[in-house]
Amino acid sequence: MRVSEGFRALPNMFAYCVHIGDWNHTIATIVKRSFESVAAWADVWEKLRALVEFFKNSESRSVCMFNLRKLKLTELLPLFKSFGATFVRWRYETICQAICDVLSLQDFCVSHLRVDFFQRQQRKGAKLLAEILVACKDRAFWCWLHTMAPLARTLAKTRRWGNGCACHEEDFQKGRTVACCWTSRRLGEAREYAAKSVAKLRGLEGALVAAAATRVAARAAAGVPTVAAAAAGPLMLA
């Protein structure tokens, strides 16, 4: 069907009224394929999962806060009052918050977390405790999180954009709930926005290559068997 340019440009016609179908699932699939293209991702994911499971537990956070008071590190206490990261929804829709929330606790995990903090839990949660202690000591794991964070933020912003509307752009990017008849009716803007997002993602490739090399070097220094830097590889953004 042929439609004149003038008719198509009307703000209440065609692309401006059409919902972007299945936007959340599409972006989450891009995140999944990108992250899973990294040979080291399975290891990173298991460590991230363990830390989210641990800090999501209010009892674990209470123990951390108790010991921070004993160590007179009260400036870190606000970090443990709540922990929003979760994998309850499909995990690639929540991966950005998981990465950012765990990174906010890096200083505590690397410098202050000790096994003797959790003497009462060592029997009940011994396996999980062992997993998080391994994660906390893994320099390459933290390197990957810092590298993945900008990628995750860019894709999370893209996902929120598709769920929002031009008239409430700032509200949606800040995670506010908005009731608007134009929500997700952004097909007319989608191509241009997607091109800008892809350009941002390609700008991260250099950092991803460097992170792959750093991870390999860190594992080699620790005496952990590893693969070649190319196999540990950057994300596949093509």
Q: What is the pLDDT of residues 5-37, one digit of tens each?
A: 665 555 555 555 566 667 888 888 888 888 888
Report the pLDDT value the prediction gives residue 103, as an integer from 0 to 100: 94
Tell me the per-residue pLDDT of 106-144, one tens digit each, with 9 for 90 and over: 999 998 888 777 766 555 677 888 899 999 999 889 988
- pLDDT band of residue 223 (cuts 50, 70, 90) is low
pTM metric for this prediction: 0.73
pLDDT-derived band of residue 229, with 50, 70 and 90 as boundaries?
very low
d(CA 128, CA 53): 8
pLDDT exceeds cutoff 70 at 161: yes
Q: What is the pLDDT of residue 158?
A: 86
Tokens of 31: 């995140």
Average pLDDT over residues 151-159: 87
* pLDDT reported for residue 17: 55
CA angle 216, 222, 225 (to 5 degrees): 60
Type of residue numbered 149: A
In angstroms, the CA 128 to CA 167 distance is: 45
List CB contacts of 43: < 8 A, sequence separation 6 or more: 141
